[in-house]
Amino acid sequence: MNSTTRVALVTGGSGGIGRAVVERLAADGLAVGVHYAGNKARADETVAAVTSAGGRAVAVSGDVADEHAMSAAFDAVEREFGGVDVVVNTAGIMLLSPIATLDLDDLDRMHRTNIRGTFVVSQQAARRVRGGGAIINFSTSVVRTQLPGYGAYVASKGAVEAMTLVLARELRGKDITVNAVAPGPTATPLFLQGKEQATIDNLAKAAPLERLGAPQDIAEAVSFLAGPARWVNGQVLYANGGLA
């Protein structure tokens, strides 16, 4: 392996936006650790897609909220590729309900994955990412659009934005950028599941570009922050086609 090859670790990298991010970073020339929580077959399929296209990838597993599991995942990527330059936190869950009727167990599940998980991975990234690297977390455009039913999910992603901006300041002098991407409505299985076609159509028309985002649209924003965007730091990039 070329000693100049950059290395990325993508949490939740086996499906949806995460897989698109893996494939885009691999196409950009990075070796990629494809993290998964439970579906090894899907992660192996993603690795196979990268390698068949001429890239380098390895599957690593672990609960993002478990600091020991994620330390081991970072270790595995470092053993395979020699270090870590880019960490992308796409792993997350979304459970929707009006605040008044939300099952508090769902709140705790989202807190564990979206807040603690992002914190644990960011903590490992802050310790391990090499100079010239990037840490990219994931928020949501609903932080701005404030759609009913998203209260608990938005609360978790608001916390992600806050910790991201603080971490950018804490890494002063290390030449590591820390940003967040906040996608708008994006055509992934997670987004489409359980929605009526009329709802999907209305969300597609909400942005001035009058379509849903594609996972590749979000991956393009990640590619920018992971590569050429060395003067973009401590920011939230709203990738949503012009939605409010």
Catalytic residues: 153
Polymer length in residues for the chain: 244
Closest alpha carbon to 126 in 178, 89, 82, 81: 178
- Residue in the structure block whose two tokens are 């939740």: 12
Burial letters 68-100, b for 16+ CB under 10 A, else e:
eebbebbebbeeebebbbbbbbbbbbbbebeee
Query: How many angstroms separate the first and last alpha carbons of the chain?
Result: 44
Q: Residues with Cβ < 8 Å from 59, sequence gap 6 or more?
A: 14, 33, 34, 35, 36, 40, 43, 44, 46, 47
Closest alpha carbon to 49 in 99, 12, 14, 97: 14
Neighbour count for residue 63 (Cβ, 10 Å): 18
* The pair of three-digit structure tokens given for residue 64, joined into one six-digit string: 């993002």
Q: What is the full DSSP assignment across 175-215?
A: --EEEEEEE-SB--HHHHTT--HHHHHHHHHHSTT-S-B-H
